[in-house]
């Protein structure tokens, strides 16, 4: 069965510092991995995905994620955090058929001015 884990419920980072939001996965077969962001009282928005190819994936708003097969991780990163990056972040994996998506429990990111 496919699953993802986000070990941190809350991450705090100072504005201008690099940020990392962690995600590990468990899949059978090749993983399709995603990051989404949710702002208060809004739906989720797609940030980036890993399907195949380069292990470093670049996405929206300056975010990137590194796929690490040996560590089964897909951590979200940004070199310099902005206050506007404060939001809830979800890691997700899809089934091999693409029919079902499995989301982590979410990590609340707070960027401190």
Q: Is the Cβ of residue 54 or residue 70 nearer to another protein in the bound state?
A: 54
CB of 14 to another protein, least distance (A): 26
Q: Decide: 50 and 57 in contact? Cβ < 8 Å.
A: yes
Q: Is the Cβ of residue 1 or residue 70 nearer to another protein in the bound state?
A: 1
List of residues contacting another protein (CB under 8 A): 9, 32, 34, 36, 41-46, 49, 51, 90, 94, 98-106
CB of 73 to another protein, least distance (A): 18
Q: Decide: 75 and 67 in contact? Cβ < 8 Å.
A: no
Q: CA 64, CA 79: separation in Å to the nearest integer?
A: 9
CB of 40 to another protein, least distance (A): 11
Q: Decide: 47 and 76 in contact? Cβ < 8 Å.
A: yes
Distance from chain centroid for Cα 17: 18
CB of 18 to another protein, least distance (A): 25
Place of tokens 């059978």: 28
Q: Is the Cβ of residue 87 or residue 106 nearer to another protein in the bound state?
A: 106
């Amino acid at each position: 069965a496919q699953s993802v884990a986000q070990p941190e419920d809350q991450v705090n980072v100072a504005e201008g510092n690099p940020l990392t939001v962690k995600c590990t996965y468990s899949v059978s077969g090749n993983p399709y991995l995603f990051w989404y962001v949710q702002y208060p009282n809004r739906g989720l928005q797609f940030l980036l995905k890993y399907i195949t190819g380069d292990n470093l994936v670049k996405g929206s708003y300056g975010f990137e994620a590194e796929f690490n097969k040996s560590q089964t991780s897909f951590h979200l990163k940004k070199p310099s955090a902005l206050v506007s990056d404060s939001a809830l972040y979800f890691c997700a994996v899809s089934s091999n058929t693409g029919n079902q998506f499995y989301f982590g429990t979410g990590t609340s990111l707070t960027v401190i001015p």
